[in-house]
Structure 1
Amino acid sequence: MASLTLNNVKKRFGQIEVLKGIDIAIDDGDFLVLVGPSGCGKSTLLNMIAGLDSISDGDVMIGDNMINTLHPADRDIAMVFQSYALYPNMTVAQNISFGLEMRHVPKPERERLIGDVSAMLQIEHLLKRKPGQLSGGQRQRVAMGRALVRDPKIFLFDEPLSNLDAKLRVDMRTEIKRLHQRLNATIVYVTHDQIEAMTLATKIAVMKDGEVQQLGSPAEVYDNPANTFVATFMGSPSMNLFDAKVEASDSSKTQLEIHGHEGEAQVVSYNRGFSELASYVGKTVSLGVRPEDISDQKQGGEGTLLCKVDVTEPTGADTYVITLLSGKEVVARMPANANLKPGDITHFAFNPEKLVLFDRETGMRIR
């Protein structure tokens, strides 16, 4: 396995720049997930690492070696495609071993590797079948087996679970996670599904419009989003964002004016200072709070806001309680036994340790 470094990597199609200077570095054994909406450039970047697309500017390094001009076959990379790309006229065993045959690996060694990989993926009983006789999940395992059997420096996965149903996606996520833990492999994985990103990655690169908005661990990206795009893209339900006017902020006190029940302006007070807000007193900022950091406080108190319950959505494990704040829909994740119903008026409390504040003009994080 090896580390991967992207230095100011750019991609242009004519006058259009689709990747605008990507800087990413991961260590040997890291699981990097490139996540973002359709058209953000994540698959283009993966293809450039693989050598399937050319690099307009910048350098791609595997370990200490620059691979910009290397042929894909010489990069020691294995790729798992969204479409599986299996040979329909070959058996599972032949599909897995095809790359080994092209490299003239001796037959006894090929058979040993097929046995090891098929046991790891629990597909030994499928080795004599052809792809047309397999389910989607089984085909995905075969595609993974074909990559694993090569023991490359880096594995590349291009939305490998997008063709599977919801239950199978969850199962295969677990299999890929288990595989990474067992092999300690270096993996770059592309998805538009932020749940996949959060559950699989050791590092996440959140992309938008050909740029990396934030690079960090899942916890860093979730708890400390760099801007409002990352805040609302990562998490399900996403982070709530609504306007709050900074009434006061010094070393001992913070006061935020928020429009709660019936649009009435209310002041939420905290007996602690948010020093980052000192220059924003008298101005309106975007306040971000995760649904799980909102609680129901029947008696009111510090840091509470009077709200009217608009909708409740029981999910089994939790109940989502929806209200309106500053004209925006806000979702609170409450316990399953939360005794709230539409029309109730109650106090919501925001965990002050988890409040995130953004500049309303730039979208960049303040606190």
Structure 2
Amino acid sequence: MSFLHINNVHKRFGETHVLKGIDIAIEQGDFLVLVGPSGCGKSTLLNMIAGLDSISEGELRLDGRCINDVHPSRRDIAMVFQSYALYPSMTVAGNIGFGLEMRKVPRKQRREAVDRVAKLLQIENLLDRKPGQLSGGQRQRVAMGRALVRDPQLFLFDEPLSNLDAKLRVDMRTEIKQLHQRLGTTIVYVTHDQIEAMTLASRIAVMRGGELQQLGTPQAVYDDPNNLFVAGFMGSPSMNLVKARIVEQGGLPVAQVATDDSTLTLPVVRDRDALRDWCDRDVILGLRPEAITDPASANHGEGNIHEAELPVALVEPTGADLYVVTTLGGTHVNARMRPGTPLRSGERTRFAFDVSRMVVFDPESEQRIRDERTAETTPLEETA
């Protein structure tokens, strides 16, 4: 039995249907990240797990117990808010230990718990300060400490890093991941930042418009997206999505893509059986930037590499990588190449396409076109 089971959960505010039958199950010790654009319902779902919002329909079970009607104080769940929600008049020690004080935990035991958590979060020297004397990162550690000190069954994080600057956000992300690895706690974490989701999660739930689009491991969601939304939302830069046409060549389906001055033909490797039925029909091809590179960097040993000479529209060095933009199917396409590759806009160069990583979508339904066997083993709720 799953540790946390969100079973066909709906939420309605009057006539507005905010959550539309969410089904998610995670095991004890999992780090589930709910990710999606603003307004997709991820924070509403988190509040329902915490007991801050009621459930219109469906069931929430935590460790085998239905918690639909259980008061928030009795759910054994701790929540870290985006705003930190610290008491300004209390010291750091007072803020961390406040929940224990409300539960009538003896002073000595309370102090030991606060000291233990402060050491874990490396804020022992801040215990006598007040929130107004702390930086954003320090306040976030205190908010986390207030949750950790209770040792609950489940931790909920509601966009806890969104108020921090870029560098501190990366640092805190690392600390949260290390904390999870040390403690083995079960966490549900909300963010709109897909890099944060990829970095932290053991499993990702991608949401849109109150519906679950895909649930799986970060790598599965990244490499094997269910639809155009997931393909475009996950990854930075996002997956290249290119108009193409499936035709038959030598008895096999191939994808033909318009370039600035000719037609590029790419062999179909994945979901080949399903795409036989799509001959002479338009599709959308999906290729990650790292699947389009310079020939010297291509994975000739494991990939299925197809080379083509194309014009260079733009060169974007980032230090660790060089992104080269060309045009396919009437849209700009990002290729990731070795840093220092001597290229300039307006030149032509050879691009290597790893077609073994290419995925194909139906432009009307926006769903992935899959072989039947793959589709049977890859439902919406799992892509691992």
Q: TM-score, normalised by structure 1?
A: 0.95
Native 8 Å contact 2:20 2:210 kept in 1: yes
Name the SS of the counterpart of 2:156 in structure 1. strand
Q: State the Cα distance separating 1:172 from its structure 2 match.
A: 0.2
* Cα distance in 2, alignment partners of residues 275 and 306 from structure 1: 29
Partner of 2:280: 282
- Mapped pair 1:116 → 2:119: no
Name the SS of the counterpart of 2:247 in structure 1. strand
Partner of 1:47: 47
Q: State the Cα distance separating 1:270 from its structure 2 match.
A: 6.2
Structure 2 residue corresponding to 1:295, chosen from 293, 296, 301: 293
**238-247 vs 264-273, greater mean Cα deviation:** 264-273
What are the residue-to-residue correspondences of 1:206-221 with 2, within 5 Å? 206-221=206-221
249 and 183 in structure 1: CA distance in 2 versus 1, 3 angstrom threshold: farther
Native 8 Å contact 2:305 2:354 kept in 1: no
What residue ranges of structure 2 are gaps of 5+ in the alignment? Answer: 297-303, 371-384
- Mapped pair 1:365 → 2:368: yes
Q: State the Cα distance separating 1:347 from its structure 2 match.
A: 2.8
Q: How many residues align?
A: 362
24 and 270 in structure 1: CA distance in 2 versus 1, 3 angstrom threshold: closer
Q: Deviations over 1:188-240 (max 9, x none)?
A: 00000000000000010000000000000001100000001000000000000
**182-191 vs 344-353, greater mean Cα deviation:** 344-353
Partner of 1:63: 63
Q: Deviations over 1:112-135 (max 9, x none)?
A: 111110000000000000000000
- Mapped pair 1:255 → 2:280: no
* Cα distance in 1, alignment partners of residues 291 and 115 from structure 2: 49
Q: State the Cα distance separating 1:269 from its structure 2 match.
A: 4.0
Identity %: 61
Native 8 Å contact 1:7 1:58 kept in 2: yes
Native 8 Å contact 2:156 2:188 kept in 1: yes
Native 8 Å contact 1:313 1:320 kept in 2: yes
Partner of 2:318: 315
312 and 128 in structure 1: CA distance in 2 versus 1, 3 angstrom threshold: same
Q: State the Cα distance separating 1:346 from its structure 2 match.
A: 2.2
Q: State the Cα distance separating 1:349 from its structure 2 match.
A: 2.3
* Cα distance in 1, alignment partners of residues 33 and 336 from structure 2: 27
What are the residue-to-residue correspondences of 1:215-230 with 2, within 5 Å? 215-230=215-230
Partner of 2:190: 190
Partner of 2:382: none
- Mapped pair 1:348 → 2:351: yes
128 and 358 in structure 1: CA distance in 2 versus 1, 3 angstrom threshold: same
* Cα distance in 1, alignment partners of residues 39 and 270 from structure 2: 43
Native 8 Å contact 1:60 1:67 kept in 2: yes
Partner of 2:83: 83
Q: Deviations over 1:241-264 (max 9, x none)?
A: 0111111267x74422111133x2
Report the RMSD for the aligned CA atoms in angstroms.
Answer: 1.7
Partner of 2:301: none
Q: TM-score, normalised by structure 2?
A: 0.91
Partner of 2:178: 178
* Cα distance in 1, alignment partners of residues 340 and 133 from structure 2: 46
Name the SS of the counterpart of 2:38 in structure 1. coil
Partner of 1:336: 339
274 and 249 in structure 1: CA distance in 2 versus 1, 3 angstrom threshold: farther
